[in-house]
Amino acid sequence: MKRIAILGATGSIGSSTLDLVEAAPERFEITALTAATNVEKLAADAKRTRAKLAVIADERRLDELRAALAGADIEAAAGEGALCQAATSADLVIAAIVGTAGLGPVMAAVRAGKTIGLANKEALVSAGALMLEEAHRTGAVLLPIDSEHNAIFQCLAGQDCDRVSRLILTASGGPFRTFTAEQMARVTPSQAVAHPNWSMGAKISVDSATMMNKGLELIEAHHLFALPESRIDILVHPQSVIHSLVEYADGSMLAQLGSPDMRVPIGHILAYPQRMATGARRLDLLEVARLDFEAPDPVRFPALRLAREALRRGGSAPLVLNAANEIAVEAFLGGSIHFPAIAGLVEEMLTIMDRPLPSTIPDVLALDAEARDESRRLLERFAA
Ligand code: NAD
Ligand code: MG
């Protein structure tokens, strides 16, 4: 029996994880589930899976959660401390909170030496160096759920990155791959969240549309696989069938293929080092028939350049990039800025904030809060 905690259980990744876990009750047991605000779904999931602990991040909803769990033998808790308790309650922690809100709980799991199935890329982008240092000290293991990094992890098959000459992250190009800059200036939030290949939460869907998602993934890959930015390429591949590639020193290239269904990488991490059935549709290569590749367009998708620059600059630049992006995406979804202003605001923030990365998590979180405040102040200048 593997004991699993799911941070962000009510989201897209969290729900897919629950589906897989519930389909294999002989292999998995749920210790804890967490959610931001959705008490009803959290309580229903916790009861159905007989979780031991249910955590709502919003402390004002603790009474509501207690009421919803009345009669069930499940501990109800709320707030950051309880999220950290959930994060240390299992053998395998699925980190599926969106944004730097997940950083504290992920770090708690790292500090406790847990195995972490990482979907929450923003946590690694913001505090990668600290997280890896701590993982090295405690023996915590980060296993990638993000499909590209999971693909690379599978292609590496335990081999050292010494023999790798380059990583190639594939990108679908998002819903605006073929749009002109003029068309992109006028897109709406509902167009941006309608991803052609993947069904995901709103924030990552907008990130896919700006291609900031690939920028964040570049930084994520740098941390997970210890390769410099210059050896990580990005290739647009609209079918999302090849999830990423590894090129070895001898010229061999290995790729991982599959249907675009997050249950495949999640299942890989849940069962690792074994394998499990996921219910994902089998890939029919005859039906796919062709695979296309394009170079990403740095003009229409400036987020890629900004992420590379932030990674090259180091320090807190990736944290600032991520914080500004989170605020800008929220503002775009709320209708207060236009689509191109997302990258515009990030670029502006990178020019005005340039600090070293603090050496403790509370200081990192304080800097993240400061970057968010500053980004919110800047929003006015970018107002739609
Ligand atoms: P989502 O919006 O569907 O779900 C987010 C989850 O986090 C929810 O359970 C929500 O309750 C919780 N949450 C949000 N804010 C919180 C806060 N302040 N405190 C505590 N909990 C909070 O998002 P998602 O699409 O499932 O993505 C989750 C993470 O996985 C993101 O980092 C995303 O980049 C990454 N990811 C997602 C996909 C995908 O296919 N959805 C693929 C690769 C990586
Ligand atoms: Mg991805």
Q: What gap in Å lies between CA 176 and CA 296, rounded to an integer?
A: 12
- What is the atom index within ligand 1 of the atom nearest the CA of 38? 11
pLDDT tens per residue, range 274-321: 999 999 999 999 999 999 999 999 999 999 999 999 999 999 999 999
C-alpha of residue 331 to centroid of ligand 2, in Å: 22
- Is any ligand 1 atom within 6 A of the Cβ of residue 144? no
pLDDT tens per residue, range 201-217: 999 999 999 999 999 99
pLDDT at 201: 94
Does residue 121 register a pLDDT over 90? yes
- Is any ligand 1 atom within 6 A of the Cβ of residue 57? yes
Average pLDDT, the chain: 97
Does residue 196 register a pLDDT over 90? no
C-alpha of residue 384 to centroid of ligand 2, in Å: 29
Does a cis peptide bond (omega within 30 degrees of 0) precede residue 273? yes
Query: Would you list which residues are annotated within the binding site for 1-deoxy-D-xylulose 5-phosphate?
Result: 121, 147-148, 172, 195, 208, 213-214, 217
Look at residues 86, 95, 82 and name the one whose alpha carbon lies nearest to residue 123.
95
pLDDT at 369: 97
CA distances from 266 to 6, 245, 257 (A): 12, 18, 15
User: Three-class SS of residue 187?
Assistant: coil
pLDDT tens per residue, range 52-99: 999 999 999 999 999 999 999 999 999 999 999 999 999 999 999 999
H helical segments located in 37-173: 39-49, 62-68, 80-87, 103-111, 121-138, 147-156
- Is any ligand 1 atom within 6 A of the Cβ of residue 261? no
Contact present, 74 and 52 (Cβ < 8 Å): yes
CA angle 142, 261, 45 (to 5 degrees): 75
Tell me the pTM: 0.98
Query: CATH number for the 2-145 domain, one of 3.30.470.30, 3.90.550.10, 3.40.50.720, 3.40.50.12500?
Result: 3.40.50.720
C-alpha of residue 120 to centroid of ligand 1, in Å: 7
Does residue 384 register a pLDDT over 90? no
pLDDT at 279: 96
- Is any ligand 1 atom within 6 A of the Cβ of residue 179? no
- Is any ligand 1 atom within 6 A of the Cβ of residue 310? no
Quote helix, strand, coil % in the chain, to nearest 5: 50, 15, 35
Neighbours of ion ligand 2 (CB under 5 A): 146-148
Nearest CA to ligand 1 atom 35: 119
**What fold characterizes domain 149-258+281-382?**
Rna Polymerase Sigma Factor; Chain: A (1.10.1740)
Radius of gyration of the chain (CA): 20
Residue 198 CA neighbour count, 13 Å, CB half = 30
C-alpha of residue 95 to centroid of ligand 2, in Å: 14
Give the rounded distance of the alpha carbon of 273 from its chain centre: 22
Query: What ipTM goes with this model?
Result: 0.99
CA distances from 94 to 16, 126, 233, 269, 279 (A): 11, 18, 27, 9, 19
pLDDT at 162: 85
C-alpha of residue 243 to centroid of ligand 2, in Å: 8
- 232 pLDDT band, cuts 50/70/90, is very high
Does residue 227 register a pLDDT over 90? yes
Ligand number nearest CA of 243 is 2
Ligand number nearest CA of 149 is 2
Sorted by where each begins, the domain ranges of the chain are 2-145, 149-258+281-382
Does residue 348 register a pLDDT over 90? yes
CA distances from 187 to 7, 190, 207, 212, 313 (A): 32, 8, 14, 16, 31
Hey, what are 65's tokens? 């959660």
Cβ burial of 270 (10 Å; 0-12, 13-18, 19+) is buried
pLDDT tens per residue, range 312-334: 999 999 999 999 999 999 999 99
pLDDT tens per residue, range 131-162: 999 999 999 999 999 999 999 999 999 888 88
Hey, what are 77's tokens? 């808790």
CA distances from 377 to 205, 328, 337, 383 (A): 24, 11, 13, 11
Q: Which amino acid, residue 261?
A: D
Does residue 197 register a pLDDT over 90? no
C-alpha of residue 16 to centroid of ligand 2, in Å: 15
Query: Would you list which residues are annotated within the binding site?
Result: 10-13, 36, 38, 120-122, 146-148, 172, 195, 201, 208, 213-214, 217
- What is the atom index within ligand 1 of the atom nearest the CA of 8? 9
Q: Which residues contact 230 (CB under 8 A, 6 or more apart)?
A: none
CA distances from 200 to 3, 13, 35, 268, 340 (A): 25, 8, 16, 19, 21
DSSP per-residue letters across 263-318:
HHHHHHHHHTTS-----PPPP-HHHH-----B---TTT-HHHHHHHHHHHH-TTHH
Q: What proportion of the chain, given as a percentage, has pLDDT over 70?
A: 100
Q: What gap in Å lies between CA 155 and CA 56, rounded to an integer?
A: 37
Q: What gap in Å lies between CA 380 and CA 384, rounded to an integer?
A: 9
Query: Using CA of residue 152, residue 158, residue 162, residue 164, what is the dihedral sign?
Result: negative
Hey, what are 372's tokens? 């968010």
Look at residues 53, 43, 117 and name the one whose alpha carbon lies nearest to residue 89.
53
